[in-house]
Amino acid sequence: MRQQTSFKRAALALACAGLFGLSGLSGTAIAHDGPHAKAHTGGIHSKPATAVKAPYDIVHTKISTDGNVATFHMQVSGKAGKSTPAKTGKLAGSSVFSYVWPTTLDPASVGFESKAGILAFAVTSHPDFDDTPLFDENGDGRTDNDGDVWHSHWVVLQPDEACGKGALKVVDIPAGTKPRLPKTWPGLPILIDSPGWSPTFAGDTLEVKVPFDDIGAVTAAGFDGVTAALRVNASVHNPLLCVVDVFKVASGDLSLPGKVNR
């Protein structure tokens, strides 16, 4: 509950700062309803928004489970994954495009410190750096050159005024500290995990299948859907990675109304 409340407060602050651009972009949490109900039931259904680029215009967000595997599902009004950031040739100031499922899960459920912030699952693309050192997504025999290929992360988020009034960042790891981290942490000084769960894109839909040791914690969680751009700080320092532009929030107010398997 503390995490959900924190995310709501951050959402309100971001909205006030104009970073969410919620006017005209909001969705409505509806179970088993809407124009896509037959193919996409349950979860959060959102009204299409002409002001949002179609590949990031969320119309349906859902998390469901089968055995110990959770499926993170998002549908947009255009072709999912079609648009990616332009390459700049340098890390500082580079952009990250993302499809994100903020949750009420405790970060400890995936290997971070308990109550470290808001745990979110994200599918990202960023051509200027690679943060999945264990995986060769483009199949060329190298593991350090495929950040532009869509891939998955767990991230822990907190508000930080250094990113902008009320804006969120991926939590930085202070120098000299050794917090609890997942085994597939990629070595960056932020609370991020690169577990290697491959996203699947099919037309207007994106899905990722994620195994869990404690699936019960997942089924009890709340969630939302967000499409957003993040940016690496120009000084590549605390904060390292800020949320700078939210394209759309599935619920419209980041209240995390989604219920797993409903």
Contacts of 125 (CB under 8 A, 6+ apart): 81, 84, 85, 96, 97, 98, 147, 148, 149, 150, 151
CA distance 123 to 8: 22
Q: Name the residue range of residue 83's domain.
A: 2-27+43-132+145-259
**In a domain? residue 119:** yes
Partner residues linked to 98 by β-bridges: 124, 228
Q: Which helix (H) or strand (E) holds 154?
A: strand 151-159
Strand partners, 66: 69
> What's residue 2's pLDDT?
42
Please give the backbone phi and psi of residue 135, each rounded to the nearest 5 degrees, phi first. -130, 145
pLDDT in tens, the chain (262 residues): 444 444 444 444 444 333 333 333 444 444 434 443 444 689 999 999 999 999 999 999 999 999 999 999 999 999 999 999 999 999 999 999 999 999 999 999 999 999 999 999 999 999 999 999 999 898 999 998 889 999 999 999 999 999 998 899 999 999 999 999 999 999 999 999 999 999 999 999 999 999 999 999 999 999 999 999 999 998 888 899 999 999 999 999 999 999 999 9
Q: What residues contact 141, with CB distance under 8 A and at least 6 apart? A: none
In angstroms, the CA 19 to CA 247 distance is 9
CB 222 within 8 A of CB 4: yes
Q: What is the pLDDT of residue 238?
A: 87
DSSP type of residue 138: T
pTM of the full structure: 0.87
Number of domains in the chain: 1
Given a contact cutoff of 8 angstroms between Cβ atoms, the answer to whether 200 and 75 are in contact is no
Q: Which pLDDT value is given to residue 41?
A: 86
Helix (H, G, I), strand (E, B) or coil at 252: coil
Q: CA nearest 253: which of 75, 83, 74, 7? A: 7
pLDDT at 138: 86
Q: Is residue 112 part of a domain?
A: yes
For residue 242, give the nearest of 172, 194, 188, 137 by alpha carbon.
172
In 3D space, the residue among 226, 219, 227 whose CA is nearest the CA of residue 63 turns out to be 219
CA–CA gap between residue 208 and residue 122 (Å, rounded): 10
Q: What is the number of residues in the chain? A: 262
